[in-house]
Amino acid sequence: MRKVNTNNMEELVWSSPKGKFAGAGKQVSEALGRKPFSIDLMERHPFDIEIARIPPGKAAYPYHTHSAQWEFYHIIAGRGVARHRGGKTSIEPGDAFIFAPNEPHQLINNGNEDLVMYVVADNPIGESSYYPDSKKWLVRCPERAILRSNPLDYFDGEE
């Protein structure tokens, strides 16, 4: 059995160059041995678990879709909105929801405290993403490349 205590884990913190996007996460699956770029399913794990945190006034990521990946969210603390194809839906502690492949989504913290959630995603090999606002693609093979016609920075066209 592999075990970690998430209370003792350090967060991976990120921010976009202009600060529009920011977040932090405890990479639980990786602490349990997951190797995200491996194509060996025993090293890759069948799902990825993160305890994510979005600061007030921020979105962690641009609005995007996944070609094959499912994402499950369970809100633990804070309030915000989930942007999706149908508009925006308020989210609060206790809310659980899922985005299937090809469903565009983005979580935005419009509250006054950190928005904290569990995120569980499956791990399809060869997964790609599309960013409707900037009209670019992220292609995994299994490494990551951001494309329009030439490679781009992840936040290019988003801020």
Superfamily (CATH H level) for 6-125: Jelly Rolls (2.60.120.10)
Domain locations in the chain as residue ranges: 6-125
Q: Where are the beta strands (DSSP E) in the chain?
A: 12-15, 22-27, 47-54, 65-66, 71-77, 80-84, 87-91, 96-99, 105-108, 115-122, 128-131, 136-140, 144-147
On whether the pTM is more than 0.75, the answer is yes
| Segment 68-122, tens digit of pLDDT | 999 999 999 999 999 999 999 999 999 999 999 999 999 999 999 999 999 999 9
Find the mean pLDDT for residues 14-39: 94
